[in-house]
Amino acid sequence: MIEFDNSLITHVEEMDKQHLRLVALLNNTYELLKEGRKEEALELFQKELLSYVEFHLSEEEKFMEKIGYPELESHRKVHEIFRREVKNLAPYVERGDLKAFREALSYAWGWLYNHIAKTDKKYGIYAKERGLI
């Protein structure tokens, strides 16, 4: 489980709210799995989490465009890698392959935490230094 703490704060209010929602969805999925509620966990992952990830990445890219963030293109490429990895696992998850599901969930946790704590913080710093937030 991921704890939403200061290491995940970008100081961009809307992005922080979205990151908090992503963490909550991942944690809820984990809790369902831990309780043996595999079908509910799969459904939450497929129907809610994956669509919210896409929504968030898109919103984040719009924000970076708006502030003229110089690392936007490299950030987009990182997002594309994540989208591709999750998309590659999706058919296995949809078939109920629990090993693939665990891989997808583990990947999402690791990626999300590292991405927010390292990469996303940079656009927060950029926006703050320029008085954009």
Residue pLDDT, tens place only, 39-62: 898 889 888 988 998 999 999 999
What is the reported pTM?
0.89
Average predicted confidence (pLDDT) for the chain: 90
Average pLDDT over every residue of 107-112: 84
The separation between the first and the last C-alpha atoms of the chain, rounded to the nearest angstrom, is: 30
Average pLDDT over every residue of 95-123: 86
- Judge whether residue 94 has pLDDT over 80: no
Question: And the tokens for 25?
Answer: 């969805």
Enumerate the H helices of the chain as residue ranges.
13-34, 38-43, 50-67, 72-94, 98-114, 121-129
Query: Over pLDDT 90: what percentage of the chain?
Result: 56
Domains of the chain: 6-129 (1.20.120.50)
pLDDT confidence of residue 84: 86
